[in-house]
Amino acid sequence: MSGDPKKDEESWFTPVWEIEEELEPPGLLRARKPGPEPDYDHPLLIPLTLAQDAVARLEAKVEMTSDAVAEGLRARMSYLEAAGWLRHWHFSVHPWDLALRDAGLTASYGAALHADRLKTVLPATVGQESGLDVAPSVAVRLDINANQALRIARLWRQLAEFRSWRPVSDLEAVHKTLQSLGCRIPEASEITDWQASVDAVKEKPALIRAGQAARNWMNLAGVEPADPAGFFLAACLWREKSARRPIALPFWSAPEMHHLRLARHFGLQWMADYLDTVAAAAIVGLHELERLGQAEEKGRLLGTTARSRLPDAMNSVLRAPIVTVNSLAKTLDITPQAALHLLQQLMTAGIVRERTGRASWRAFALC
């Protein structure tokens, strides 16, 4: 940082590449055409290959898994994406706590702090960081940012599940998408310029195109790197390459160090870091998918009778990151007492745990 706020702000918007030719993907990853030998030493070759591999493995495994696990993964990854974006803003909130807030099971963080009851609204976060100390002014800001994060989570999941949704198909669609994200709406001319820059790189690999679209958005719209719009629009473009994709492109769920490194670079190094971040986020998704698969396998080993609702309860806890007695009772059309009994059986089997630490309005999640 230079110490001059104006100069520092301008440095955020430094174009990520100096000349267009720098971003040409390695020859062997373009369509095979007569010409010079592929550039096996291209600096984007390894990052692009690793990112494509990680994302392809995640897609393939989601396609092969059960509907319950696939839906559960998309739901959980949406909160991981939201939590990752919040972490970039220096707010550490556990994905379970975001799920509790999204389900209306917790109230304002600011009000809870004022009443010295922060643990009731951030149980997983406080349990993970026993020394959590939040200033009142920060708690108010956290409420605002948490609401923004939940918008990101909902749209990320919508992008993964609504195959007919085309959020970047035209100017009006982009405008509506930005409104849904709660982001600043640039001038129509800026959006049009961005769309033109996207159309100019249609032949590049999908992940290169997505990364370039994200940074072009930041450059043209003049937003800071942590603004969610550019990276969400990039995920929309990546999905458009194949409407059959079983999951949206993960990005914010990558470990924090990847985002910190990305924020410091530009040019080819920025693109390499972007690809590395996508690969790391996809690996997080693979780990979450493995955890869900293991839980599903545990559920299959439970002894049940022909009339048992335990398999249905297991299906519900796989699909939803957070389950309450009332939500399970409504889903299975049974009494709350019967739903509680099913959850207790799943707790005894080591499949779910109570996550709020409360005596009432309790919520359960996979172990």
Please list, in sequence order, all residues whose beta carbon lies within 8 angstroms of the beta carbon of residue 201, skipping any fewer than 6 positions away: 23, 208, 209, 212, 213
Please tell me the predicted confidence (pLDDT) of residue 19: 41
From CA 280, how far away is CA 358, in angstroms rounded? 35
Would you state the CATH architecture of domain 308-366? Orthogonal Bundle (1.10)
CB < 8 Å & 24+ apart, contacts of 329-334? 334/309
Please tell me the predicted confidence (pLDDT) of residue 20: 43
CB < 8 Å & 24+ apart, contacts of 151-154? 151/180, 151/181, 151/182, 152/81, 152/82, 152/85, 152/181, 152/228, 152/232, 152/252, 153/78, 153/79, 153/81, 153/82, 153/98, 153/102, 154/78, 154/102
What are the residue boundaries of the structural domains of the chain, listed by start?
Answer: 67-292, 308-366
Evaluate whether 363 touches 100 at the Cβ level (below 8 Å): yes
Please tell me the predicted confidence (pLDDT) of residue 148: 93
Evaluate whether 321 touches 76 at the Cβ level (below 8 Å): yes
Please tell me the predicted confidence (pLDDT) of residue 6: 44
Exposed / middle / buried, residue 366 (Cβ in 10 Å: 0-12, 13-18, 19+)? buried
Residues 255, 258, 262, CA angle at the centre, nearest 5°? 150
Evaluate whether 178 touches 229 at the Cβ level (below 8 Å): yes
Please tell me the predicted confidence (pLDDT) of residue 132: 61
Please tell me the predicted confidence (pLDDT) of residue 37: 59
| Residue 125 structure tokens | 């976060």
Kindly report the pTM of this predicted structure.
0.86
Strand pairing category for 352-354 and 363-366: antiparallel
Which residues of the chain are modeled with pLDDT < 50?
Answer: 1-3, 5-22, 28, 31-32
Please tell me the predicted confidence (pLDDT) of residue 39: 56
Q: pLDDT tens digits for 279-329?
A: 999 999 999 999 999 999 999 988 777 678 999 999 999 999 999 999 999
Q: pLDDT tens digits for 224-281?
A: 667 889 999 999 999 887 667 899 999 999 999 999 999 888 888 999 999 999 999 9
Evaluate whether 206 touches 241 at the Cβ level (below 8 Å): yes
Q: State which amino acid sits at residue 56.
A: A
Radius of gyration of the chain (CA): 22
Please tell me the predicted confidence (pLDDT) of residue 107: 85
Nearest to 366 by CA among 311, 299, 308, 305: 299
Exposed / middle / buried, residue 267 (Cβ in 10 Å: 0-12, 13-18, 19+)? middle
Range 127-140 burial, b when 16+ CB lie within 10 A, else e? eeeeeeebeeebbb
From CA 277, how far away is CA 159, in angstroms rounded? 20
Q: State which amino acid sits at residue 153.
A: A
Nearest to 86 by CA among 99, 102, 98, 103: 98
Residue with tokens 């990558």: 254
Please list, in sequence order, all residues whose beta carbon lies within 8 angstroms of the beta carbon of residue 119, skipping any fewer than 6 positions away: 126, 127, 357
